[in-house]
Amino acid sequence: KDLLLNRYAHIADGIAVLFHPYVEGVIHELYDQTVLPIAHNLSRREPGADYALEEIPATARERIVGPYEKLNWDGRKMRSVSAVLFDDLARPAGMMCINFNIAVFDEMRGALDILLQGAGMRPQPDELFRDDWQERINLFLHGWLRERGASLN
């Protein structure tokens, strides 16, 4: 446990600080299948709690697992990635899991969809833009560029 904490806990802490308040960093000790102290604990798990990680030998060969989705205790969607942590003899000793709360971004996407789709949008009234030569040039130019896969930038 000391090896994992001394060698890897500051990495989990750094990631959690960088992406605060949306990310937690969890280190799992593989020998006794427990959770070590958690950086920015979103999952409300306690250090020392049992956490049975299955398929460790297969995971150790891959070194990185994910990203994959999980559901947090409060029903929020989390996106996670796990990395195998090794001891001095290159044996799997633990796993660092970075769990990212993406629920807030789903909510933002919903709000953006409403704004971008434009509730109650109607076609542009011809009578307002019939004599607007700038609008006609813009429509023609951008249509022409779009057909050719080009842009003004």
Average pLDDT, consecutive stretches of 10 residues, N- to C-terminus, the chain (153 residues)? 76 90 86 71 67 58 83 86 87 87 87 78 70 78 88 76
Domain assignment present for 112: no
What tokens appear for 141 in the block?
């130019």
Within a domain: 8: yes
How many C-alpha atoms does 130 have within 13 Å on its Cβ side? 4
Cβ proximity of 39 and 12 under 8 Å:
yes
Determine the pLDDT at residue 79.
92
Helix residue ranges per DSSP H, the chain:
2-18, 56-62, 103-117, 126-129, 133-147
Q: Are residues 100 and 128 in the same domain?
A: no
Look up the domain containing 152 and give its range.
123-153
pTM value? 0.65
One domain for residues 77 and 12: yes
Residue 82 lies in a domain: yes
Q: What is the CATH number of the domain that holds 65?
A: 3.30.450.20
What is the per-residue pLDDT for 18? 93
The pLDDT, as a whole number, for residue 100 is 92
Q: What is the largest CA-CA distance in the chain?
A: 78
